[in-house]
Amino acid sequence: MAELKADVLVLGAGMVGVSAALHLQKRGRDVILVERNDLAGEETSFGNAGLIECASVFPYMFPRDFGQILQYAMNNAPQMRYQFSDLPTFLPWLVRYFLASSRDRTQHSAMAELPLIRRSLIEHEALMAEAGVPELLRRTGWLKLFRSDATLADAVRDFERAKAYGGIAGEVLDSNAIALREPNLTGEFAGAIYLPAPGFVPDPGGLAKAYAALFKRKGGRFLVGDARTLGQDAGRWRVAGSDGAAVAREVVVALGPWSDLVFRPLGYSIPLAVKRGYHLHLAPRGNAVLHHPVLDSDLGYLLAPMSRGIRLTTGVEFARRDAPPTPVQLRRALPRAHGLFPLGDALEAKPWMGARPCLPDMLPVIGKAPRHAGLWFDFGHQHHGLTLGPATGRLLAEMMTGETPFADPSPFAAERFG
């Protein structure tokens, strides 16, 4: 079979990989996008809340409240669940996550990521315009509901902190204001926080596919291949594909939760873990309309008005990436969601499951691999792969092509883990 040659191989065609490929292509690089599926956006990028979270200043860190930690430890929190049999596997990572969640280290992570957060919607808008899919962006913002005065007070404190550090706009709503924004919601709420700035994408997987189509229209090549075959020979990187091998001087690992399948055999001990999550689409009942994504914060689930129906998404499940699905959180959330909004039948036979790739400090790894020429990393975007993909793609492309990066890349270096 013929050998395909390029300047750069990008491994992974989720939102992160496709965005990196587009930004490299824009800077004159000949890029081959390597993906195990026939289409882009079929894995982690397919299943999320659809939010371009440009108002998320502080990352999702490990809680410091003892009562909340005890609830998590007892597996009683709707926001988080773990499998006891997998505890020895991920407990060392959880310890690192806890240590990285101190107030000072959380502040460091937030300020490091803030320039990327601020660019997130801007970069998406530019790509959507170029791809010809502006209709995939809705400027609705989203709602966080709180059922107790205590959780609302904590959220308001966090919101005020985000306003101070990130200039975030928003409103604190009472029950009457909630009803005006979402008249079909039912329940007793202490209040809500409305964040108007974030964009909402009703088909995240479709957006990744639209970006991939743009990449191909501009001359990029898409190769169905196995990233685990990656090897280096005579200064070139090679990966096997269904239509022959692809070779290039440089390669980008953008495989999300599967990135360890490439970097570990190369000798890197980056502490990548996953937070699994589930979703299910349901039909709205009657003429009910959901106008915004809505997070039922105290009960640990989110409803979003997707193109396929109302998407019910769960909180976090700590388990091995490839362990069989255990959608306990989804089963528990279903009756709660039915009580919040008029939902009809499920539109799928079984729920979708995906994995969020996470590092202990909740920052991605972006930049040059320290021990291999031509090897670059772009993974570990935790809950913000959809949000940050185009921004980190730009940052990486600037680093790879010698431009002055728009943000300080040093907090994202792989070397921070030793």
Q: For residue 58, what pLDDT is reported?
A: 86
Residue reference for tokens 């009756």: 335
Cα distance between residue 99 and residue 167, in whole Å: 27
Q: What residue ranges of the chain have pLDDT lower than 70?
A: 1
Q: For residue 8, what pLDDT is reported?
A: 98
Q: Three-state secondary structure along 93-130?
A: HHHHHHHCCCHHHHHHHHHHHHHHHHHHHHHHHHHHHH
Q: Where are the domains of the chain?
A: 1-61+100-140+197-272+359-418
- Considering the four listed CATH numbers 3.30.830.10, 3.50.50.60, 1.10.10.60, 3.40.50.620, the one that applies to the domain covering 1-61+100-140+197-272+359-418 is 3.50.50.60
**Cβ neighbours around 283 below 10 Å, total:** 15
Q: For residue 2, what pLDDT is reported?
A: 74
- Asked if 319 and 273 touch (Cβ cutoff 8 Å), the reply is no
Q: What is the pLDDT of residues 232-284, one digit of tens each?
A: 988 899 999 988 899 999 999 999 999 999 999 999 999 999 999 999 999 99
Contacting residues for 233 by C-beta, under 8 A, at least 6 apart: none
Write phi, then psi, for 28 (nearest 5 degrees). Answer: 90, 10
Q: For residue 1, what pLDDT is reported?
A: 61
Strand partners, 318: 82
Cα distance between residue 85 and residue 394, in whole Å: 40
> What is the token pair recorded at 112?
């490091």
- How is 317-342 classified by DSSP, letter by letter? EES-TTSPP--HHHHHHHHHHHHHS-
Burial (CB < 10 A; 0-12, 13-18, 19+), residue 242, is exposed
In Å, how far from its chain's centre is CA 171?
A: 25
What is the amino acid identity at position 245?
A
Dihedral Cα 54, 58, 62, 66, nearest 10 deg = -130
- Asked if 321 and 277 touch (Cβ cutoff 8 Å), the reply is no
Cα distance between residue 380 and residue 97, in whole Å: 13
Q: Is the dihedral of CA 57, 60, 63, 67 positive or negative?
A: positive
Q: For residue 217, what pLDDT is reported?
A: 98
Cα distance between residue 157 and residue 153, in whole Å: 6
> What is the token pair recorded at 176?
């009457």
> What is the token pair recorded at 66?
């003892």
> What is the token pair recorded at 341?
């909004």
